[in-house]
């Protein structure tokens, strides 16, 4: 048993003064929830009252999503279009990991709590910026191989003196808000299966609600609620049916979901994991959860003969008290492209104008912009589709039929049915992924980070279960000599931008390009008429919320993927953003001794004069990595390379990128640049023997033969020589 379990013996924290104001029901208390603001530093004295009334306490950022509705909107306006030019760095703190940093801080009772890669938690004093405590759940680094998309974490939840974190290895841990000591911990998953947790726990009326990920591998999705004080399980809701020979856990699995599946999906779990988006509506007392893609992605191998495969890729309304199903809306029936609907979900009131066909008026809605590229507005109470329009140039469907609520697909996109490889937009990363969007009730606009992409999807001739890695059932290349069809006639160009989206008119109002076209980034909006968002080029920017005009920018020395938070220190507005993602912005050198990607928490205030160091402190300097492409000569035959290409697509592309070119933000290196290409023994150490398993590179000795890994090596050498030739051609002076 690992050492950290010892700390379970630590007693629950002493009950803090003033907690009586924070009852467990949303209606119980008449005391002002704001009163608890006077609590001691680090009290995290949050109860239902304070969460529901979070808008009356704009000086705190009580939930990672800003408020229960996850609007990421702040009423603070000291920093506004006029004053923002005086915004400067107040303080920063270096982070001690070099993987992706995706969390939004929670700021309450004088303390900022954030999570970093590897599910570590840090608490800072917001007055001094000093670290109060840090907690490391000591994850076995080999677990990183089960994390499809880096060992990230999106933040904590605070409740009744405790800080809750979901840990990559499937544990849910409650920490004492003042000391960071473990109060309780619970294993929420079967540790023999490749489940992971990267999402934020949500807390509703004393229950901590947490989902998990792993649908790229072989798991069955579910979300569980635990008693926040004891860790005892309250309810669990499964998103896909289990073995049909056994009783189903929930009536809707049997009545609604089961008839939409074929084959033997349950043997690989079926997927549908709930790894990110959730929102709570305290008025309707409904929690909305988003479900993920199927396992395997390719429907031909998951549910031969088709079917909607409920509740994959759906927004589902649940009773937070019991976990009972209320309604669902499926965004991508029979999904086959990894089009999850776990993206951020938001609850809002929209004021519809009167038209010739409707009298208009206020409607309580749920909004989501999932991977598939449509923006959905649903009635929060009934789940009825109000509208669905493209927010990006997708090519898998023409539109959503408003009467049936179903997408009208472009037939060539369904490579699993046609048997013909197809280029489809978006690619698996989606037109919008986990990167938080924001909504301003003042402008009525949603601020949405868009990442346009497309990819080849092909059905390999057969599907074999991979017990160590991904099970997508997809070939990411059409194969040597095969030309894929292009769904929708043309693939859109890869680009990233931030849009302001009118959710009533369902159209884009303004757009600003992301300086670096690769990848998304999180967003926040304020009453100061400002939208704050970073980018992969190493900038943190503010835009006029009405026009999109850039009004402020500050260098971050790191890629920014997380979303900001805002709060006050002694009445003065400040803004915090966690930075760092795989690699460094172009032209940036390393300046953080503890993090190769310059991971830091940056805090800004009006008149702030702190500066980031220009270079690495000398004492700890480690040279930044510069790489030159230098592959060995290609000696293998065309057949060997072709075999390697197929095997690469099946076993390596999920991490190392389609055709060996990793996507931006990918956790795995570009193998074309690897020094290991120069020696079969070196190669085999990583690829067969698992030398780097602790760093997230699984060994393949039990899943691939030596000949197969040789063929993959030949293919990567081929790709490296292609790239070298392309670079040489580009470097030649034009005649």
For ligand HEC, the binding residues (CB under 6 A) are 145, 469, 651-652, 654-656, 667-669, 671, 674-676, 683, 686-687, 692, 695-698, 700, 712
- Find the shortest distance in angstroms from Cβ 646 to ligand HEC: 12
Catalytic residue among 338, 544, 670, 710: 338
Nearer Cβ to ligand HEC (157/655): 655
- Find the shortest distance in angstroms from Cβ 653 to ligand HEC: 8
Between the CA of residue 466 and those of 143, 470, 478, 671, 690, what are the distances in Å? 16, 7, 21, 21, 16
Burial of 721 (0-12, 13-18, 19+ CB in 10 A): middle
For residue 678, count other CB atoms closer than 10 A to its CB: 13
Nearer Cβ to ligand HEC (66/662): 662
- Find the shortest distance in angstroms from Cβ 693 to ligand HEC: 9
Nearer Cβ to ligand HEC (393/698): 698
Q: Which residue has the tokens 């390999």?
A: 460
- Find the shortest distance in angstroms from Cβ 346 to ligand HEC: 31
Distance CA 458, CA 336 (A): 11
Nearer Cβ to ligand HEC (110/660): 660
Asked if 159 and 218 touch (Cβ cutoff 8 Å), the reply is no
- Find the shortest distance in angstroms from Cβ 313 to ligand HEC: 23
Asked if 146 and 167 touch (Cβ cutoff 8 Å), the reply is no
Nearer Cβ to ligand HEC (181/680): 680
- Find the shortest distance in angstroms from Cβ 602 to ligand HEC: 26
Nearer Cβ to ligand HEC (122/468): 468
**CA diameter of the chain:** 80
Rama region for 6: left / alpha / beta (φ>0; ψ in -120 to 50; rest): alpha
For residue 177, count other CB atoms closer than 10 A to its CB: 31
Distance CA 181, CA 161 (A): 12
Q: Which two tokens stand for residue 55?
A: 């808008």
Between the CA of residue 72 and those of 66, 139, 531, 721, what are the distances in Å? 4, 30, 10, 47
Burial of 255 (0-12, 13-18, 19+ CB in 10 A): exposed
To the nearest 10°, the Cα dihedral for 551, 557, 561, 562? -80
Q: Which of 563, 297, 240 is nearest to 432 (CA)?
A: 563
Asked if 47 and 19 touch (Cβ cutoff 8 Å), the reply is yes
- Find the shortest distance in angstroms from Cβ 469 to ligand HEC: 4
Nearer Cβ to ligand HEC (110/696): 696
Q: Which of 385, 265, 401 is nearest to 327 (CA)?
A: 385
First-to-last C-alpha distance (Å) of the chain: 68
Asked if 119 and 97 touch (Cβ cutoff 8 Å), the reply is no
Nearer Cβ to ligand HEC (455/568): 455
Nearer Cβ to ligand HEC (48/664): 664
Between the CA of residue 199 and those of 436, 534, 643, what are the distances in Å? 12, 21, 38
- Find the shortest distance in angstroms from Cβ 46 to ligand HEC: 37
Q: Which two tokens stand for residue 153?
A: 């974490």
Nearer Cβ to ligand HEC (365/664): 664
- Find the shortest distance in angstroms from Cβ 520 to ligand HEC: 21
Between the CA of residue 614 and those of 217, 242, 440, 555, what are the distances in Å? 42, 55, 36, 11
Q: Which two tokens stand for residue 314?
A: 């759906």
Nearer Cβ to ligand HEC (157/720): 720
- Find the shortest distance in angstroms from Cβ 718 to ligand HEC: 13
- Find the shortest distance in angstroms from Cβ 125 to ligand HEC: 34
Distance of CA 423 to the CA centre of its chain: 24
Distance CA 493, CA 513 (A): 13
Distance CA 523, CA 335 (A): 28
Asked if 14 and 133 touch (Cβ cutoff 8 Å), the reply is no
338 is catalytic: yes
- Find the shortest distance in angstroms from Cβ 385 to ligand HEC: 37
Q: Which two tokens stand for residue 367?
A: 């909004």
Q: Around 716, how many Cα atoms within 13 Å sit in the side-chain half-sphere?
A: 34
Nearer Cβ to ligand HEC (545/687): 687
Distance CA 232, CA 175 (A): 16
Distant-in-sequence, close-in-space partners of 243: CB < 8 Å, separation ≥ 6 = 266
Which residues are tagged catalytic? Answer: 338
């Amino acid at each position: 048993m690992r050492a950290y379990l010892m700390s379970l013996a630590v007693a629950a924290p002493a009950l803090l003064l003033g907690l009586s104001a924070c009852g467990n029901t949303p209606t119980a208390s008449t005391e002002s929830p704001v009163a608890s603001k006077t609590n001691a530093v680090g009290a995290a004295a949050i109860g239902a009252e304070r969460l529901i009334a979070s808008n009356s306490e704009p000086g705190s950022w009580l939930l990672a999503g800003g408020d229960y509705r996850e609007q990421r909107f702040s009423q603070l306006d000291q920093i506004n279009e006029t004053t923002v030019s005086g915004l400067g760095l107040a303080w920063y703190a270096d982070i001690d990991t070099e993987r992706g940093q995706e969390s939004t801080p929670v700021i309450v009772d004088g303390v900022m709590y954030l999570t970093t890669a590897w599910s570590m938690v840090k608490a800072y004093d917001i007055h001094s910026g000093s670290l109060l405590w840090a907690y490391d759940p000591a994850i076995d680094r080999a677990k990183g191989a089960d994390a499809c998309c880096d060992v990230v974490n999106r933040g904590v939840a605070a409740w009744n003196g405790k800080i809750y974190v979901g840990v990559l290895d499937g544990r849910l841990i409650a920490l004492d808000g003042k000391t960071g000591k473990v109060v309780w911990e619970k294993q929420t998953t079967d540790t023999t299966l490749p489940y992971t947790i990267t999402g934020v726990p949500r807390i509703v009326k004393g229950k901590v609600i947490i989902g998990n990920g792993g649908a790229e591998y072989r798991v069955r999705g579910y979300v569980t609620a635990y008693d926040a004080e004891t860790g005892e399980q309250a309810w669990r809701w499964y998103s896909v049916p289990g073995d049909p020979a056994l009783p189903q856990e929930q009536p809707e699995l049997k009545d609604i979901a089961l008839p939409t599946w074929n084959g033997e999906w349950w043997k690989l779990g079926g997927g549908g994991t709930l790894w990110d988006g959730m929102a709570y509506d305290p008025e309707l007392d409904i929690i909305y959860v988003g479900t993920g893609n199927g396992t395997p992605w390719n429907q031909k191998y998951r549910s031969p003969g088709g079917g909607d495969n409920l509740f994959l890729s759906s927004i589902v309304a649940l009773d937070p008290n019991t976990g009972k199903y209320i309604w669902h809306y499926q965004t991508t029936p029979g999904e086959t492209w990894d089009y999850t609907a776990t993206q951020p979900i938001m609850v809002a009131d929209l004021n519809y104008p009167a038209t010739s066909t409707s009298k208009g008026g206020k409607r309580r809605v749920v909004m989501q912009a999932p991977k598939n590229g449509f923006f959905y507005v649903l009635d929060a109470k009934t789940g009825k589709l109000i509208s669905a329009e493209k927010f990006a140039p997708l090519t898998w469907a023409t539109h959503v039929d408003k009467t049936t609520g179903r997408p009208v697909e472009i037939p060539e996109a369904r490579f699993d049915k046609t048997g013909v490889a197809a280029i489809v937009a978006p690619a698996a990363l989606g037109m919008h992924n986990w990167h938080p969007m924001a909504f301003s009730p003042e402008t009525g606009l949603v601020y949405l980070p868009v990442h346009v992409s497309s990819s080849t999807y092909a059905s390999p001739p057969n599907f074999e279960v991979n017990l160590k890695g991904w099970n997508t059932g997809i070939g990411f290349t059409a194969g040597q000599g095969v030309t894929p069809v292009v769904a929708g006639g043309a693939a859109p160009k890869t680009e990233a931008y931030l849009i302001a989206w009118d959710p009533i008119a369902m159209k884009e109002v303004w757009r600003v390009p992301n300086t670096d076209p690769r990848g998304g980034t999180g967003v926040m909006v304020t009453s100061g008429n400002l939208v704050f968002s970073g980018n992969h080029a190493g900038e943190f920017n503010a835009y006029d919320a009405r026009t999109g005009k850039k009004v402020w920018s500050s260098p971050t020395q790191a890629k920014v993927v997380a979303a900001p938070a805002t709060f006050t220190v002694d009445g003065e507005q400040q803004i915090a953003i966690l930075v760092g993602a795989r690699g460094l912005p172009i032209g940036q050198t390393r300046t953080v001794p503890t993090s190769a990607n310059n991971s830091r928490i940056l805090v800004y205030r009006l008149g702030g004069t702190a500066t980031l160091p220009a270079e690495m402190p000398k004492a700890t300097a480690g040279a930044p990595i510069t790489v030159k492409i230098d592959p060995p000569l290609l000696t293998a035959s065309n057949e060997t390379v072709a075999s390697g290409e197929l095997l690469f697509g099946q076993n390596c592309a999920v991490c190392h990128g389609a055709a060996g070119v990793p996507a931006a933000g990918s956790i795995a290196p570009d193998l074309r640049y690897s020094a290991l290409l120069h020696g079969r023994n070196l190669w085999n150490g990583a690829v067969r023997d698992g030398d780097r398993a602790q760093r997230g590179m699984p060994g393949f000795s039990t899943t691939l033969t030596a000949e197969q890994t040789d063929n993959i090596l030949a293919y990567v050498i081929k790709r490296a020589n292609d790239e070298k030739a392309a670079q040489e051609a580009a470097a030649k002076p034009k005649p």
